[in-house]
Each structure stands twice: as C-alpha cells, then as structure tokens.
Amino acid sequence: MSELVMLFFGAEFTESVFPASVLLVGALFGSTRKVIVEILRGYSLPHASTVVELLSYPVFVVAGILFVTELAMSRDGNYSGSDPIYRSHYC
C-alpha cells in the first residue's frame, strides 16, 4: 500500500497509509456483502438476503475492531512486515 501512496502522492503522504489500509479492507468487505445480497435477490431469495444483511453488520463491526487494533499495534513499532518504506518511517 505504501508504494501506491508514494507513487501517486509522494513521500509527504506516508502518514495516510494506515487510513488507506483501513478503508481498502472496509471497501472489500462491504462490496463482498453487497454482491452476496444481490445474488440472493437475483435468485428470488429476499429473506435470505435480509438475513445476510443483518448478520453481516455484527461480523463487520467485530472484524473492523480487530483489524484496526492490529493495524494500530503494528503502527506502534511492533510491525514485523517487510515493507521497507513503512519500517524506515515508523520504526
């Protein structure tokens, strides 16, 4: 992610890697939910799509909290990844 931020916006925007990562994962899960719901509606299963909608919100909240907590911990210096730009900037 940091390579894309550096490519499009430059080094002064490296602080935006964390929020961009959160937004990217959120968009992925949100769009997956929407695709599943629309497929179920296409198969004339509106009740099943309603159940998927209702069950997805608590799952997304818990997953979001865990994901953001993990990213925040990695931002505090416990990062063990191989992103050299991130390590040189935050560690």
Q: Where do the structural domains in the chain lie, given as residue ranges?
A: 2-90
pLDDT band at 88 (very low <50, low <70, confident <90, very high): low
Write the pLDDT tens digit of every residue in 38-82.
Answer: 998 899 988 988 888 888 889 888 887 887 777 776 665 554 455
pLDDT of residue 64: 79
Position 6 scores a pLDDT of 84
Look up the pTM and report it: 0.58
∠ Cα 81 78 30 (to 5°): 65
List all residues 6 or more positions away from 80 whose beta carbon is below 8 Å from its beta carbon. Answer: 74
- pLDDT tens digits, one per residue of 12-37: 888 888 888 888 888 888 898 889 88
Q: Encode 33-62: b = buried (16+ Cβ within 10 Å), e = exposed.
A: beeebeebeeeeeeeebeebeeebeeeeee
